[in-house]
Amino acid sequence: MPAIGIDDLSFATGTYRIELAAIAERLGVDPAKFEHGLGQVEMSVLAEDEDIVTLAAAAALPIVERAGREGIRTILFATETGIDQSKSAGVYLHRLLGLGDHVRAVELKQACYSGTAALQFAAALVARDPAERVLVVTSDVARYELGTPAEPTQGAGAAAFLVTVEPALVELEPASGVFTRDVMDFWRPNHRHTAIVDGKSSISAYIDAVAGAFEDYRARGGAAFDEIDRFCYHQPFTRMAAKAHRQLAERLSSSRDGAALDAQIDDTMGYNRRIGNSYTASVYFALAALLEAEEDLTGRRVAIASYGSGSVAEFLSGVVVPGYRERSRVEAHERLLAARTLLDDEAYLALQRSVQRDDPSNYETQRQTSGPFRFAGVRDDKRIYEPTA
């Protein structure tokens, strides 16, 4: 069986950003709470004419431009932020990317987890036909009620990756551990733009689920905790990764502690600290940050610990491929983050409220995005997407 894994990884985020200090000031909270307590300094905010589809297309375009469209027969679109009850966001994405007719496009949902399900489904398709290259896109906008403790844990972004044989970035190892338990820690009924969350129980549900998934990973032949070099956790806020990693190390009586544990996760947080929560994309922003950091990780074992409230977790590992740095998109990614326009609190609040439309069946959006595609609005209940150039 040839090696299967991630061959390319690219991301996109909102046109705007807000510093969490501005939100702290309005809420009358010590800004140190967000910076140190949550580990977040700013978050991305979408322009009026951006949504999960425009983000996904902006993330995936550099991948198809580099690798070509040949052999891509499947788009797996993972999201919590669905835009339609029936039609897959993957179908809009398929057109924007200019892919041919002979492609299957579907959407997958399980809160922040479904990107990892997509990775596994992609690997299975590639195992069946090594000529296939599967495009996985994770794209989300995290929205909570304004003025609640969850407000500083919003954010938005999309990460796209290509799953192939003989991958250039990370070769997946065969073992993976899964865990499902029906809990009500975070959910979003169909009529709501914002998630309902029980913050404290979501943190313990996350830790229990990841520990359960790790136990299953081990039982299925996965590496011991101390044989894993780096850990990419789902990061609803980056301190969550530190909490989860320490708890896991303690539960498993790891020989590592303190700074040695921090060193295994520090490089995974660089992007999420600035983007905020991007639900399905978050763990792949962690992977991108790790692979684009200074340290050479060739041949090292990296874990992906994926969690989606509700709840499902999966723990899997892979090995970093020699030459992976030649595929790095670090400069483009840094440029993208640096180019975001800083909003003040008032402008941010206005944008957040703009998702509530008087007539959701017919409206136009303002031209704001700096990305390659825009969501022009809705006409007779049909969403309209177009290139910006």
Catalytic residues: 80, 112, 234
Tell me how far apart the alpha carbons of residues 41 and 248 are, in angstroms, rounded to a whole number. 26
| Interface pick for ligand CAA out of 78, 197, 209, 286 (rule CB under 6 A) | 197
Kindly give the residue spans of alpha helices, DSSP state H, lying in the chain: 20-27, 31-32, 52-67, 89-96, 114-128, 199-219, 238-251, 258-263, 272-275, 282-291, 330-339, 345-353
**Cβ closer to ligand CAA: 35 or 292?**
35
Residue 234 binds ligand CAA, judged by CB under 6 A: yes
Identify which range of 18-26, 167-175, 198-206, 324-332 contacts ligand CAA by CB under 6 A. 198-206
Q: Token pair for residue 313?
A: 């977790």
**Sign of the CA dihedral with 188 first, then 96, 14, and 241 last:** positive
Site string for ligand CAA, 283-302 (x = CB under 6 A): --------------------
Q: How far is CA 165 from CA 3, 56, 133, 339, in A?
A: 6, 23, 8, 34
| Interface pick for ligand CAA out of 11, 161, 186, 271 (rule CB under 6 A) | 186
| Interface pick for ligand CAA out of 11, 92, 206, 285 (rule CB under 6 A) | 206
**Sign of the CA dihedral with 250 first, then 254, 255, and 258 last:** negative
Residue facing ligand CAA at closest CB distance: 37
Kindly give, in sequence order, each residue whose CB lies less than 8 Å from that of residue 302, ignoring residues fewer than 6 positions away.
170, 228, 229, 230, 231, 232, 287, 290, 317, 318, 319, 320
**Cβ closer to ligand CAA: 217 or 307?**
307
Helix, coil or strand: residue 198? coil
Cis peptide bond prior to 317, omega within 30° of 0? no
Q: Which of residues 8-67 bind ligand CAA (CB under 6 A)?
A: 30, 32-33, 36-38
| Interface pick for ligand CAA out of 112, 162, 248, 343 (rule CB under 6 A) | 112
| Interface pick for ligand CAA out of 71, 82, 149, 377 (rule CB under 6 A) | 149
Provide the minimum distance between the beta carbon of 278 and ligand CAA in the complex, in angstroms, as a whole number: 9
Judged by the rule CB under 6 A, the positions of this chain that interact with ligand CAA are 30, 32-33, 36-38, 112, 149-150, 153, 186, 197, 199-200, 202-203, 206, 234, 236-237, 240, 277, 279, 307, 309
